Every structure is written in structure tokens, then in C-alpha cells.
Amino acid sequence: MSDSSPDSGPAPVLLLVEDNPGDARLVQEAFSDERLAESLHVVTEGEDALDFVYQRGDYPDAPRPDLVLLDWNLPGTSGDEVLMELKDDSELGQIPVIVLTGSQAERDVVEAYEYHANACITKSGTADEYIDTLRSFETFWLSTARLPPTNGA
């Protein structure tokens, strides 16, 4: 992906790793733009996220994500384990990973950045406030920031 501005080329491929259906629905609502809605892939477990990015298991044809939204508190393979594995991979480590957390604990934020998260968003406040936060995220990460090119670019 060479240009991530809203009106040029294909929409960036987004991977949302979120086990809470309500939170996943809010993310989908925030990214209601048709191009983004079509490029948003949702998995509910950390192991599924790893299968998706490594194109294994149920995801042999999964596109490489341009950006990952990662819930920190996942059952099974946790958000921190997924983040560490992604960032330790020489090819996948450049994919921006945005941690989503409902935790107010400062240690979770510190740990996310220690594991090289690109940003940390707290899921706090009302649903409308969370959607506003996600739309701000969308404006910056998908319209302003330049994402690293995918391998084929």
C-alpha cells in the first residue's frame, strides 16, 4: 500500500482482534465508511490473530494487515503474547499495532509500549465517546499517517 489517503487506491487492510462482541460492533460502527468496512477483518482470539497474519489454519488466503487493532485482555493467547510475537517477526514487526484496553491500570499501558505497541487506546467512557475516539484514530492512522508498504508494494 503506497498511499493511505481516503480517496486513493484500495482501503488499508485492518485486523481487529476483539473478543467482546459489543466492542467489536462499536469499532465496526466507527469505521462505517464502506471502503473501511470491507477491509476490516475481525477475529475473537489471539491464536486466530496469529493464524490470520501467518495465513495458517482457517486463514490460508488472509490478506496481510496494514494495521492491527489488538484487544489487550484476550482469553487464551493474550494481547501481550500476540503483540510480542508480531513485533519479534522480522517481516510482520513493521505492521502498526494499536492496543485497545478497558483497563485503567498504568502498568498495562507501560507494558504495551514496552512490547512496542504503536499506540494504546483506552476503552473508557460511553459508547459514543469510544466511537469518537476510534474516529480520531481513523483520521490519524488511516488518513494522515503513512503506513508501511506491504511486501508486494
pLDDT in tens, 93-130: 999 999 999 888 899 999 999 999 999 998 878 899 99
Please tell me the predicted confidence (pLDDT) of residue 11.
82
How far is C-alpha 15 from the geometric centre of its chain's CA atoms? 5
Q: What stretches in the chain show pLDDT beneath 50?
A: 1-6, 152-153
Assign residue 96 a region: left if phi > 0, alpha if psi is -120 to 50, beta otherwise?
Answer: beta
Annotated domain spans of the chain = 14-144
Q: Which pLDDT value is given to residue 74?
A: 95
Q: What is the CATH number of domain 14-144?
A: 3.40.50.2300
Are 122 and 101 in contact by the 8 Å Cβ rule? The answer is yes
pLDDT score for 153:
45
